[in-house]
Structure 1
Amino acid sequence: MKTSLVLTVIGPDKPGLVELLSQTIAAHQGNWLESGMSRLAGKFAGILITEVPEGQVEALTAELTALQEKGLKVVAERTSEPEVVSDQQRFTLELVGHDKPGIVREISQALAERKVNVERLNTELVSGSMSAELLFKADADLSVATNADLDELQGALEDIASDLMVDIILKN
């Protein structure tokens, strides 16, 4: 029987961290399924799903914990397959505007109030093409019940966009 583990990893960025992690998983007959990893502020940070034989879970977890001695902190959580929700509609959100505190807070609050689930969120700061000012960019995959009022959500996001002076686009 296979067990799924969600691993979160963080440590000072340096060459070989993915190889160290993959070798540790492979040594316990693990299968690397999905991951998202980035270099952020000099740190290597990521999350991944691995599947291992039940009999290897404790040994793998212990070896992953021991990687902290090599600078990589790993937290392992058992998981089960998520239940499939069929009455959901999925869409994306794209946002761009001058960087300022509170953008993520305002948008996430509006989404949470309408029971919109954020399934993936990527944000970045980039230089504006016409100026040296920093632009905040975000893109997100979202889901919500099929009976949700998307027009009301769009209106609420447009109000926030106007207040924050950002552009927001929702796409199905």
Structure 2
Amino acid sequence: MKHIVISFLGKDKPGIVDTLAKTIKLHHGNWQTSSMRKLSGFFAGILEVSVDNEHSENLLAALKDIEGLSISTEVTEPVSLADETIRLDLTANDRIGIIGEISSVIHAQGGNLVKLVSTQGNAPHFGQKLFKATATIAITGDDHIDSLVGALEGIADDLIVDVVVN
């Protein structure tokens, strides 16, 4: 059994996910997990597919032939996380470099960023831009979690960190 990690980007139009799903099914692949989104007129995503070894080459070739999508693939073996994961919900006034600041602190505190979803929007009643993110982080030990949260809160007075232990 192989796992294929697929990233894609194309001009947004109806049917992109349907085309991917049909191609994967036709070549005996099983859609495992994914994250997709419309961004500035494009549709982008990443997904993981499992497929038996004898069908993997045909699936890879068929994916590359999908018209209108730029597709990148990596073939791998399935991996499971050994570390504990926590979810952090982060909110702050938006500013240039905030993702870099957050990711640097996570790395310096021994965390591994597993998933990051971020948005920007207007603060209610103020019109100021707000940064919001949900980060899933692999980290070991309660003392490391406390240290990580303290370091993140130290980035700026306006950064709010809510922790959810999975």
- Deviating above 3 A after TM superposition, structure 1's stretches of 4 or more consecutive aligned residues are none
Which residue, out of 160, 167, 170, partners 2:163? 170
| CA offset digits 1:73-110 (Å, max 9, x no partner) | 1112111121441xx33211111122110111111101
Q: Do 1:161 and 1:168's aligned partners in 2 also have CA atoms closer than 8 Å?
A: no
**Cα displacement string for residues 25-81 of structure 1 (whole angstroms, at most 9, x for unaligned residues):** 1111111111111111111111111122212211211111111xx211111211112
Please tell me whether residue 75 in structure 1 is matched to residue 72 in structure 2. Answer: yes
Residues 1:113 and 2:112 aligned together: no
How large is the Cα RMSD of the aligned pairs?
1.6
Deviation of residue 171 (structure 1)?
A: 3.0
Count of residues paired in the alignment: 165
Name the counterpart of 2:13: 14
Taking only the aligned residue pairs, the percentage that are identical comes to 33
The two structures have a TM-score, normalised by structure 1, of: 0.88
Q: Secondary structure at the match of 1:154?
A: helix
In the alignment, which residue of structure 2 is the partner of 1:57?
Answer: 56
Query: What one-letter code is carried by the residue in structure 2 that aligns with 1:33?
Result: Q
Matches of 2:21 and 2:41, distance apart in 1:
21
Q: Distance between the aligned counterparts of 2:148 and 2:38, measured in 1?
A: 33
Match of residue 95 from structure 2:
100
CA contact (8 A) 2:153 2:159 kept: no
CA distance in 1, matches of 2:161, 2:4: 35
> What runs of 5+ residues in structure 1 fail to find an aligned partner?
none
Aligned to 1:5: 4
Q: More deviation in 50-59 or 100-109?
A: 50-59
Q: How does 1:115-134 map to 2 (within 5 A)?
A: 115-134=110-129
User: In 2, distance between residues paired with 1:40 and 1:49?
Assistant: 20
